Amino acid sequence: MRQDCSIPDYLNEILSNFCVEDVKNIERYGSGHINETFYVSTLNDDDPDYLLQRINHHIFKDIPSLMENIRLVTDHLRKKLGNIPDSQIDKEVLMLVTTKDQQFYYCDQAGNYWRMYHFVPAHSYDILQTELQAYEGGRAFGKFQALLVDLDISLISETIPNFHNISIRLERFNQVVHHDVANRVMEVSAEISFIKERMEEMNGTLSQDYVDVLPLRIIHNDTKFNNVLLDDNDHFQCVIDLDTVMPGYVAYDFGDAIRTIINTAAEDEKELAKINLNLPLFEAYVKGYFEEAKIFLTEIESSSLLTGVFLITYEQVVRFLTDYLEGDSYYKIHFPKHNLQRARAQIKLLKELECSRETLEKIMENTINRAAILKK
């Protein structure tokens, strides 16, 4: 077996606990912020390749519940897609690999948790390039939500409590600013002011008026565009990274997707002048999303979606800056001040969104009206 010199030797022992075919090579894979991922190729061309992941148990405190969520969701998706060949389903839904004792995860002697999936041969983008990609991303997440509408929500655990609860996020932010454990508050006074200026408004976003009537759905909760796999023709194939699949509001998923799709630059872009809005991509995503989601969306849910765009972008500013002020304990960083750079990039994006609010509202209104006509 070939193995990159940067790959830990103990991975061979980890792999030996899973039901996998003969391994040819192991290499690091992906650009995720949270988990550590490895691509595992096999000797026989007829055998599947795999993804091996170390789950970050410092963030996900209840691994058994997390993995049960994923099992329930992937099983349900497979049943809903049961009218297509198995070979096609394997490309559209993640398939977990069991351990030799028929579990869906393995805990090593150091207390690290591991899981494996069949590798899906497809590709993803961190930054969109075409309207087709945006349209297909909208279809992907719209269909994902639509297929899960009839899965019993009471079966799905909350793997990260209050994940999108902006009030809790802001309380934590205020505590971190007050204690300043990493001695960084003085250098980010402008960023702190930005957050505080919008604090009252954002605390009321998706307010009680909405919450009383918005249905809880099973949603993805991490709808960055690189969590959609596309085929060679850039048509959507599979939604991945299901760790945060939990009960929530569809506006959360919509907002996070738009946050990444509409941005003309990377999430952590250093040159802020490069961060602008790509409105054609926004319109294409909205069109694709409603094409799939119109079958279940209520009127109040549709009206809440754009609210989610501003809320989730603001929330991401809070999360990145909080992590920076705490000493970078949550997100992976690749250089000093990476989280600060991320926060500043999201601040610039939110300013651009605020300046274009009326244009965004008009695009949403037109798309919702077209979807309502088609739904009749």
Positive or negative, the CA dihedral 183, 187, 190, 195 is negative
Angle at 262 between CA 254 and CA 170, to 5 degrees: 60
Q: State how far the Cα of 315 lies from the Cα of 240, in Å rounded to an integer.
A: 22
Q: State how far the Cα of 309 lies from the Cα of 356, in Å rounded to an integer.
A: 12
What one-character DSSP code corresponds to residue 94?
Answer: -
Q: State how far the Cα of 182 lies from the Cα of 161, in Å rounded to an integer.
A: 25
252 is written with which tokens? 């959360």
Q: State how far the Cα of 184 lies from the Cα of 181, in Å rounded to an integer.
A: 8
Residues paired with residue 114 on neighbouring β-strands, in sequence order: 54, 106
What one-character DSSP code corresponds to residue 18?
Answer: B
Mean pLDDT by 10 residues, the chain (376 residues): 59 92 85 77 89 91 96 96 82 95 94 95 88 97 97 95 92 97 97 97 76 90 94 95 95 96 95 97 96 94 94 97 95 94 98 98 90 59
Q: State how far the Cα of 7 lies from the Cα of 359, in Å rounded to an integer.
A: 48
Q: Name every residue whose Cβ is closer than 8 Å to that of residue 260 and which is 6 or more positions away in sequence.
A: 223, 224, 225, 226, 267
Query: How does strand 2-3 pair with strand 23-28?
Result: parallel
Q: Residue 21: its pLDDT value, please?
A: 80
Residues in the chain, total? 376
Q: State how far the Cα of 102 lies from the Cα of 116, in Å rounded to an integer.
A: 12
223 is written with which tokens? 């709808």
Rounded to whole angstroms, what are the CA distances from 201 to 156, 213, 361?
Answer: 31, 20, 18
The SS3 call for residue 123 is strand
165 is written with which tokens? 């609860």
Q: Residue 3: its pLDDT value, please?
A: 47
- Tokens 């409590």: give the residue: 161
Q: Name every residue whose Cβ is closer than 8 Å to that of residue 109 and which is 6 or more positions away in sequence.
A: none
Closest by CA position to 278, among listed 213, 343, 337, 359: 359
Q: State how far the Cα of 191 lies from the Cα of 328, in Å rounded to an integer.
A: 16
Residues paired with residue 217 on neighbouring β-strands, in sequence order: 248
